[in-house]
Structure 1
């Protein structure tokens, strides 16, 4: 009986590990396609396809593993590099651009975000990190590839603002994983996190959701007339404190202004 339980436990652990690996590789493939499709839009050569596809596909996982002080799985497991290259090859062979590909690409992007937010959170939990650290690592894993891709293109990372939601769906996916009971997190928690993160990401694209941004023009604006009146009032206030008499016409200016 003990052997039976031991075998069952080992099989369950193997299933969870394989499920984690499949989801992680799905995120790599999706981001590899996205990165290489941007290379096609920019008319890059084969090197550009490879660099953007690999950077977009593997950077998030590498950042995650480095922050966990472990050897990046992208280096130790050849399947990760091959999967990223496969994504770049797909975008090289097929013209994944234009209006008909807009929503398929958005779906791929949303799935990649959900997958990586979930796997980053699970891996942080397996490493013994707390809830807040696990959430942070889930978000970094989800948006890291896009950040590195944008930096390679010489542009401000989209996650910093000015676009639809990115970090918010990743945080929601990570939180969904953490709110799942601990024993079910590597299975049901990961599935729920992917659905939540992908759903919020797609909804934000569809409905144009975005976080509020700072208005550079916000503040108090005074006309020249108002500014002159304010300066006269300041001068009169100083004159009163000094015991001087304020002329009548200056007092009348306050009414006019």
Structure 2
């Protein structure tokens, strides 16, 4: 079940990477690279920091799902763009899932709650950061004007706290993921923004 949820999150993140490729007028290879990096980059960074074999290299599905997303966007990107509101909801779900799972894995490997939470955020937003750098954009992590990283931070912090307190398994993961998901959805619907430095307007 956890792998299925992983693959769903990877698919949604890959769609956003491939769509970025379309906006940047990249060819299919460039779209595939952005899709793969968006979907897998955060998990790869997490596993390399933990010094374990990346999950992406343990199952062919982790590599093939972003390829499938690229093909879909390559042929039907106008239709995919039209259903972006639904994709953004799934993206928020993937964000919540990845930050919770990443934090839990880091705790299992003996990291402190603080470092585990940081690694959970890396898992959730690292792929998007790599995507933006490759596409020549300022990473959204550096101007979190749509409260994307903040929900991941909160979800990761809650997951680390629950794990530290002895709460493990899917109930703790679900609680942290739902919290991050809910905050992200609320930010999208209410147009919440992170504050700028004092004296700067929107």
Structure 1 unaligned regions, length at least 5: 1-18, 219-257
Deviation string, structure 1 residues 141-177 (Cα, Å, up to 9, x no partner): 1110000000011111011115211221001111232
Which position in structure 2 is the counterpart of 1:63? Answer: 45
What is the DSSP-based 3-state SS (H/G/I as helix, E as strand, rest coil) of the residue aligned with 1:180?
Answer: helix
Deviation string, structure 1 residues 155-209 (Cα, Å, up to 9, x no partner): 1101111521122100111123234366643211111122111111121121121
User: In angstroms, what is the RMSD of aligned CA positions?
Assistant: 2.1
> TM-score normalized by structure 1?
0.71
Taking the aligned partners of 1:50 and 1:74, their CA distance within structure 2 comes to 15
Which position in structure 1 is the counterpart of 2:162? Answer: 180
Taking the aligned partners of 2:50 and 2:69, their CA distance within structure 1 comes to 26
- The number of aligned residues is 199
Map 1:16-35 onto structure 2 (within 5 A): 19-35=1-17
What is the DSSP-based 3-state SS (H/G/I as helix, E as strand, rest coil) of the residue aligned with 1:23?
Answer: helix
Taking the aligned partners of 2:39 and 2:29, their CA distance within structure 1 comes to 15
Q: Which runs of 4+ in 1 moved over 6 A?
A: none
What is the DSSP-based 3-state SS (H/G/I as helix, E as strand, rest coil) of the residue aligned with 1:185?
Answer: coil
Moved more, 135-144 or 156-165: 156-165
The 3 A distance-change label for structure 1 pair 183 and 217 is: closer
> TM-score normalized by structure 2?
0.88
Q: CA deviation at 1:217?
A: 6.0
Map 1:232-251 onto structure 2 (within 5 A): none
- The structure with higher relative contact order (CA 8 Å, sep 6+) is 2
Native 8 Å contact 1:33 1:87 kept in 2: yes
Native 8 Å contact 1:41 1:97 kept in 2: no
Map 1:209-224 onto structure 2 (within 5 A): 209-215=192-198
Q: CA deviation at 1:118?
A: 1.1
